[in-house]
Amino acid sequence: MDNRTYGYVRVSSKEQNEERQVKALLENGVEERYIFIDKQSGKDTNRPQYQILKNALRCGDTVIIKSLDRFSRSYKDIIEEYADITKRIGANLVILDLPLLDTRQNDDLLKHFINDLVLQILGFVSETERKYIKQRQKEGIEIAKSKGTKFGRKRIEKPSNWNEVISKWKNGEMTGVRAYTELGLKETTFYKLLREERKGK
């Protein structure tokens, strides 16, 4: 069986566009049918398409990714997955933004040593940056709260004619559809306010 070249793409959410990564993989010889895409956080490797890719990998195959953080944002996961792919499975790993980590070129012990060392340094930097970002976000929220900024969803106020309309609705004088229409509310908002009112009693 001939060895295959796979591509892996990850974006953090469904709203983000994966085209830039896909284009880079296609330009580097990966067939579209062998590109696996996850739209999920990189906090760990528990991603459906990534796991399918790993199960498909055989010794001598190659996995190409655009950058290290597409692989994972966790230092521990980066090291473990790198070792799993290149050593346990025996496949090659190519990171386009880091040509030094192209294991197809590593034929001697010194290169393997340098590769592992560089990977550990980069993995550590990647995770440290992620922690710094979270810390900065936390500090920003705390500063905003100290200045009186409120977070969370804005409380929905009841319309001025709420009591009048609800009274008619409860007495069977109008349907629910007519009630939330007259109140100028969406159906979900109407029933949410009703539930909150009942809880408050």
- Residues labelled catalytic: 12
Per residue in 71-87, is it b (16+ CB within 10 Å) or e — as a string? bbbbbebbbebbeebbe
Cα Rg of the chain (Å, integer): 27
Contacts of 43 (CB under 8 A, 6+ apart): 73, 74
Distance of CA 159 to the CA centre of its chain: 39
Residue 65 · residue 8 · CB < 8 Å:
yes
Q: Which two tokens stand for residue 15?
A: 């709203």
> Please, which residues have CB within 8 angstroms of residue 46's CB and are 6 or more apart in sequence?
none
